[in-house]
Chains A and B, each alone.
Chain A
Amino acid sequence: DTEVTQTPKHLVMGMTNKKSLKCEQHMGHRAMYWYKQKAKKPPELMFVYSYEKLSINESVPSRFSPECPNSSLLNLHLHALQPEDSALYLCASSQSGDRNNEKLFFGSGTQLSVL
């Protein structure tokens, strides 16, 4: 099973709303990632959790707040977003995140629209 599950599939929110994106994997992977992807562009790394600890924050604005409740779950809390934050948000996982040759497995993403 190489599945990473993301919910919701689509999300529309206003600039004053608070919402959360959820991600789950049952592959026993210990590293989980959030990426942001604009149309026809490659994914851009936002956050990396390794062994449930935040290991990389790519200078992401504080209106995005990640959380890793356990090794299988990853959340992204959203608050006071801007229209330019509209994008496909991808979750990914890999075996440990400690090595430089790992394969990342992606979820199908949440298409976020900020009005």
Chain B
Amino acid sequence: GQQLNQSPQSMFIQEGEDVSMNCTSSSIFNTWLWYKQDPGEGPVLLIALYKAGELTSNGRLTAQFGITRKDSFLNISASIPSDVGIYFCAGHTGANSKLTFGKGITLSVRP
């Protein structure tokens, strides 16, 4: 089955720094979704990507759909304490496919 790889499991950055996280697979994906989850809450959709090479921004967040369609990247600029949480990538591979999730990256921001 399709797998999405996110690593490392945890990232620690200083407030104000930029951070980049990626999501890779051996399978081709048609859609990439990036979610953020706070403790005890549901995942919140940050960015959706639909075309290879697509670059989309949402405030301080920018995500890209990789040219090979096997990866995606999320960048957070000028991090702030409320960026703390778990970031999941997710994607669809084809017709009637279920949404596949990566294992998530836990981001910590030091003030």
Q: Compute how far the CA of A41 lies from the CA of B37 in the bound complex, rounded to whole angstroms.
A: 11
Contact B41 A108 (CB under 8 A): yes
B93 near A: Cβ within 8 Å?
yes
| Stretch binding the partner chain, chosen from B12-20, B70-78, B97-105 | B97-105
Dominant secondary structure at the B interface: loop
Report chain A residues within 8 Å CB of B99.
45, 104
For residues 65 through 104 of chain B, which have their beta carbon under 8 Å from a beta carbon of chain A?
Answer: 86, 88, 90, 92-99, 101-104
Instruction: Name A33's closest neighbour in chain B (CB-CB).
Output: B99
Give the residues in chain B near A104, CB-CB below 8 Å: 33, 45, 90, 99
Cβ contact within 8 Å between B33 and A100: no
Chain A: residues with Cβ within 8 Å of the partner, total of 25
Contact A41 B45, beta carbon cutoff 8 Å = no
Taking the closest CB of chain B, its distance from the CB of A2, in whole angstroms, is 8
- How many positions in chain B have a CB within 8 Å of any CB in the partner chain? 28
Query: How many angstroms from the CA of A90 to the CA of B45 in the assembled complex?
Result: 14
In the assembled complex, the Cα of A40 lies from the Cα of B10 at a distance in Å of 11
Which secondary structure characterizes the binding site on chain A?
A: loop
**Chain A contact residues, CB within 8 Å of chain B:** 2, 4, 6, 40-43, 45, 48, 56, 88, 90, 92, 98, 100-109, 111
Measured CB to CB, the closest approach of chain A to B33, in angstroms, equals 6
Cβ of A101: which chain B residues have Cβ within 8 Å of it?
30-31, 50, 92
Q: How many Å lie between the Cα of A103 and that of B35 in the bound state?
A: 10
Q: Which 6 A-B pairs have the closest CB atoms?
A: A42-B101, A106-B42, A101-B31, A100-B92, A108-B42, A109-B42
